[in-house]
Amino acid sequence: MQPVIDRLIVDDLRKPEVRKRITSASTLYFPPKEMLPLNEFACELVARGKTSEEQLKHALFPNRPLYQVVGEDSIEGAYSDHAKGVIAATSNRKVSPKYPIYRASPAMQKTVEQIYLENDVRADYLQSPASFAVSISNLTDLETAALASGDFTKVYAAMKSGNLDQAIGK
C-alpha cells in the first residue's frame, strides 16, 4: 500500500470526509508560519564538516539569546503576561510539606529509564516483573516490591517520599 500525500489547510481537518481518512498511522506536518532567515555561516560550517556543538552554537547564536533568534526583539515579547507573573512569583513559592518529594535511588532511576527507552529491557520486564525486579541490584525493598508488582502506579509511588509502604502493599 502506497502512502497518500494530501496537502490540506487546517479548515480541511474539520470536514468529516477528511477526518475519516486520518488514522492513528497518519502523519501530519504543519509548516511554520514564517521561515527564519538562513544562517549562511552555519551552513558553511556544516558543508565543511565542522559541526562540533560549540562551533554550531557560536554560529547559530553569536552573543544572542535564543528569544532573539526566534524573532523576538526583546525579552518582553518572549513571554506572555501570565508566564512573566509565574516567573516573578517563583521566589515566593512554598512547597507544601505534604508534597511527595522525589526520592528514587540511582538504581531505580536507571531501571525505569531503561524500561522506557530500551525495547529488550521493556520486554523482559513485561514478561515477568517479579523475576526482573529481583535481578536488579541496589534497589530498596520498597522499589523491588513496586517493580515486582508490574503496576506502574506503584512504581511511581515508590519513587516519591511519604508513607508509601502501605500503598505498595508490602
Determine the pLDDT at residue 43: 72
Determine the pLDDT at residue 66: 44
Determine the pLDDT at residue 1: 60
Determine the pLDDT at residue 51: 60
Residue ranges per domain, the chain? Answer: 36-73, 106-168
**pTM for this structure?**
0.41
Task: Report which of residues 47 and 152 the model is more confident about.
Answer: 152
pLDDT category of residue 167 using cuts at 50, 70 and 90: very low
**Alpha-carbon span 58 to 46, nearest angstrom:** 13
Determine the pLDDT at residue 72: 43
Count CB atoms within 10 A of the CB of residue 59.
18
The SS3 of residue 8 is coil
pLDDT digits (tens, 9 = 90+) for 75-125: 555 567 787 788 788 888 787 777 667 788 889 989 998 998 888 999 999
Question: Which residue, 151, 150, 154, 149, is CA-closest to 167?
Answer: 154
